[in-house]
Amino acid sequence: MAVQMPALPYAQDALEGFLSASTLSFHYGKHLKNYVDTTNKLIAGTADESKSLTDIIKTAKGPLFNNAAQVFNHQFYFESISPKSTSVPPEVLAIIEHSFGSLDEFLSKFKAAAAGNFGSGWTWLVKKGGTLSIVSTSNAGCPITDGFTPLLTVDVWEHAYYLDYQNRRADYLAKFCEHIDWAKVAERLV
Ligand SMILES: [Fe+2]
Q: 18-67 pLDDT, tens per residue?
A: 999 999 999 999 999 999 999 999 999 999 999 999 999 999 999 999 99
- The domain limits of the chain are 21-78, 90-189
Instruction: State the distance from the centre of ligand 1 to the C-alpha of 108, rounded, in angstroms.
Output: 22
- What topology does CATH give the domain 21-78? Helix Hairpins (1.10.287)
Instruction: Specify which residues 136 forms β-bridges with.
Output: 123
Report the distance separating Cα 85 and Cα 95, nearest Å. Answer: 20
Instruction: State the distance from the centre of ligand 1 to the C-alpha of 79, rounded, in angstroms.
Output: 13
Cα–Cα distance list, 56 to 46, 103, 155 (Å): 11, 34, 21
Left if phi > 0, otherwise alpha if psi is -120 to 50, otherwise beta: which for 178? alpha
User: Residue 28's pLDDT is what?
Assistant: 98
Question: How would CATH label the architecture of 90-189?
Answer: 3-Layer(bab) Sandwich (3.55)
Instruction: State the distance from the centre of ligand 1 to the C-alpha of 94, rounded, in angstroms.
Output: 30
Instruction: State the distance from the centre of ligand 1 to the C-alpha of 160, rounded, in angstroms.
Output: 5
Instruction: State the distance from the centre of ligand 1 to the C-alpha of 28, rounded, in angstroms.
Output: 8
User: Residue 190's pLDDT is what?
Assistant: 80
Instruction: State the distance from the centre of ligand 1 to the C-alpha of 76, rounded, in angstroms.
Output: 11
User: Residue 175's pLDDT is what?
Assistant: 98
Report the distance separating Cα 182 and Cα 68, nearest Å. Answer: 25
User: Do 21-78 and 90-189 share a fold?
Assistant: no
Instruction: State the distance from the centre of ligand 1 to the C-alpha of 123, rounded, in angstroms.
Output: 12
Ramachandran angles phi, psi of 154, nearest 5°: -125, 135
Ramachandran angles phi, psi of 140, nearest 5°: -95, 5
User: Residue 12's pLDDT is what?
Assistant: 98
- Residues of the chain short of pLDDT 50, as ranges, are none
Instruction: State the distance from the centre of ligand 1 to the C-alpha of 142, rounded, in angstroms.
Output: 13
